[in-house]
């Protein structure tokens, strides 16, 4: 039998490296886990939004949710709001992608009934209580609700820099991860081409059996050492630049938003994330469609229009949209930015890190003999996931009716739309997105998410056909009853739930009950 996997070496820290270390060390306490983090390289640190999956990940590695809120400047996130994406702004040009499923999803013909009787009501507002919680700034749980439990499904907004430090301390103090603050200077290989050890400036050669590349966009091991290329997708998603700022609140008791707000611009969009002590705001844009100066002017105008007189100097980021042709090659697997990056719309970056760390840990090969089998499965799973992310993000653009710039016209050109997405849009003229379209057990975005964006963006199906499918009994539940249930849940929750800031303040003072 070939050499067993006894030592996992992670190169690079930040959210990706420390999440990977935490998941693997928590699941495999007898395994040696070492993380090498260069003191010369600062983490990018702007990924401040998560999905609800982060609750499971933090619970999996044994983190206290109360400590997480206190130390990471965290807030609750219940979904995303999109402003100005359909027409370019104005009253009513918004929609929500909430984190809860539509009420009665899969039990009734919600879309057909909505189209027939309530088409003037935004889809998400009709089928879900959660947009109403977001509009009113409510938290997704009560002070008595235990850690990680929810009244309404939620993820987090967080300070990415503080999050990496928090995870590092937990991994070192609670999970026994070995920490090597050093700079990798060389890669030593076995005769078969596997990596045998990494040379470091201060600690010499560090041997390992499996190496995880979390070195960011430089992709030190997978990209630079092995030469695994990027699959470039700028032909589909044009954005390749971002300007990020941190803006203080005007008052210490200002409301903390319960959602990420994404506001469309002439050549991109602006994110707005509320933390307890500040807002994280950034403009993502296409350098082919605007200049840095104009992007900064648009960002400044947004910051001023949303209540802040002054804007700090923004931090400029550039990226090449795409993902690695392979994510696991020989005894190296890439997680995080080293695996690829697509613009931060819908906050998929940390979610893909979580999925990657979980699959490596769940399917960890016992020996080098079986590693190639696991690698093939991993590569298949994540090629599929990255392509679904690209299609889902493109959906936001292809349905826009904005005509104020070449950027929006170009996003609707047929040659920029993936073939699979074009086929799905043709099918969805006659039926809603369903499990038939997304049938893997662990889809990145479930069919409900596609419905929220599809109908939020104003997609109009063939009303006669789509309502006839429902009338014919496919499915047969009482859609109107589910609409009433969603409205009643919204009324009850608005009365019972505290504001986002009220609950965050409670957690900081008193904590939450342990599960």
**197 is an annotated ligand-binding site residue:** no
Around 503, how many Cα atoms within 13 Å sit in the side-chain half-sphere?
A: 29
Residue appearing with tokens 């200049």: 291
Among 426, 392, 432, which residue's Cα sits nearest to residue 110? 432
DSSP 414: G
67 Cβ contact list (under 8 Å, min separation 6): 166
Residue from 77, 141, 174, 316 carrying the catalytic annotation: 77
Q: Is 423 helix (H, G, I), strand (E, B) or coil?
A: helix
Judge whether 14 is annotated as a binding position: yes
Q: Check: CB of residue 53 under 8 Å from CB of residue 133.
A: no
Question: Which residue carries 């402003």 as its tokens?
Answer: 83
Q: How far apart are the first and last CA of the chain?
A: 42
Q: Which uninterrupted H or E stretch holds 355?
A: helix 348-362
Q: How far apart are CA 33 and CA 64, in angstroms?
A: 22
15 labeled part of a ligand binding site: yes
Cα(177)–Cα(29) distance, integer angstroms = 10
Check whether 174 is labelled as a binding-site residue.
no
Say whether 77 is catalytic.
yes
User: Which residues make Cβ contacts (< 8 Å) with residue 4, sequence separation at least 6?
Assistant: 209, 366, 367
| Whether 158 contacts 276, CB under 8 Å | no
Q: Taking a C-beta distance cutoff of 8 angstroms, is the pair 448, 153 a contact?
A: no
- Alpha-carbon gap, residue 368 to 371, rounded angstroms: 5
> Is 71 labeled as ligand-binding?
no
Structure tokens belonging to residue 246: 């941190």
| CA pair distance 482, 103, nearest whole angstrom | 6
* DSSP code per residue over 447-489: HHHHHHHHHHTT----HHHHHHHHHTTSS-B-HHHHHHHHHHH
Place of tokens 């560090």: 206
184 labeled part of a ligand binding site: yes
Q: Which two tokens stand for residue 338?
A: 């080293």
**Bridge partner list, 242:** 284, 317
Burial of 139 (0-12, 13-18, 19+ CB in 10 A): buried
What DSSP element (H or E) covers 180?
strand 178-181
H or E element in which residue 74 lies: none
User: Is residue 346 part of an annotated ligand binding site?
Assistant: yes
Q: Is 287 annotated as a binding residue?
A: no
Q: Which residues are annotated as a binding site for L-tryptophan?
A: 346
Q: Which residues are annotated as a binding site?
A: 13-16, 77, 184, 337, 346
Catalytic residue IDs: 77
């Amino acid at each position: 039998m070939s050499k067993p996997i006894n030592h996992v070496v992670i190169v690079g820290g930040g959210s990706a490296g420390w999440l990977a270390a935490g998941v693997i060390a928590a699941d495999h306490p007898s395994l040696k886990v070492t993380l090498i983090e260069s003191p010369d390289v600062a983490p990018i640190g702007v990924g401040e939004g998560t999905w609800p999956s982060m609750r499971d990940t933090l619970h999996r590695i044994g983190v206290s949710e109360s400590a997480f809120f206190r130390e990471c400047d965290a807030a609750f996130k219940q979904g995303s709001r999109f402003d100005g994406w359909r027409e370019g702004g104005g009253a009513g040009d918004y929609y929500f992608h909430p984190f809860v499923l539509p009420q009665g999803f899969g039990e009734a013909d919600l879309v057909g009934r909505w189209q027939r009787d309530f088409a003037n009501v935004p889809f998400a507002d009709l089928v879900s209580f959660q947009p109403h919680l977001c509009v009113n700034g409510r938290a997704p749980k009560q002070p008595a609700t235990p850690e990680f439990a929810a009244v309404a499904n939620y993820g987090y907004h967080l300070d990415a820099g503080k999050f990496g430090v928090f995870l590092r301390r937990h991994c070192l103090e609670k999970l026994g991860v070995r920490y090597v603050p050093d700079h990798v200077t060389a890669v030593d290989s076995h005769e078969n081409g596997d990596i045998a050890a990494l040379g470091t400036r201060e600690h010499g050669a560090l041997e390992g059996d499996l190496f995880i590349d979390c070195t960011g966009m430089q992709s030190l091991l997978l990209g630079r050492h092995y030469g695994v290329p990027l699959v470039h997708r700028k032909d589909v998603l044009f954005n390749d630049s971002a300007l990020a700022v941190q803006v203080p609140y005007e008052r210490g008791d200002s409301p903390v938003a319960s959602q990420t707000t994404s506001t469309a611009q002439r050549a991109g969009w602006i994110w707005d994330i509320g933390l307890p002590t500040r807002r994280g705001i950034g403009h993502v844009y296409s350098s082919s469609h605007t200049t840095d100066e104009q992007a900064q002017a648009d960002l400044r105008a947004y910051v001023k229009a949303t209540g802040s007189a002054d804007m700090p100097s923004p931090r400029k980021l550039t990226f090449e949209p795409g993902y690695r042709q392979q994510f696991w090659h020989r005894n190296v697997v890439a997680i995080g930015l080293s695996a690829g990056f697509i613009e931060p719309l819908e906050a998929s970056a940390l979610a893909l890190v979580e999925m990657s760390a979980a699959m490596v840990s769940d399917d960890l090969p016992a020996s080098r003999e079986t590693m190639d089998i696991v690698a093939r499965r991993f590569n298949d799973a994540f090629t599929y996931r990255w392509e679904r992310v690209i299609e889902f993000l493109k959906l936001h653009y292809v349905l826009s009716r904005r005509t104020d710039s070449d950027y929006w016209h170009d996003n609707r050109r047929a040659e920029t739309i993936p073939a699979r997405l074009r086929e799905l849009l043709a099918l969805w003229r006659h039926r809603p997105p369903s499990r038939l379209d997304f049938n893997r057990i662990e889809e990145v975005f479930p069919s409900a998410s596609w419905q929220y964006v599809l109908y939020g963006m104003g997609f109009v199906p063939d009303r006669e056909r789509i309502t006839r499918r429902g009338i014919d009994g496919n499915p047969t539940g009482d859609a109107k009853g589910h609409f009433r249930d969603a409205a009643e849940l919204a009324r009850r929750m608005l009365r019972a739930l505290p504001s986002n800031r009220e609950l965050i303040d409670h957690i900081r003072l008193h904590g939450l009950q342990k599960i």
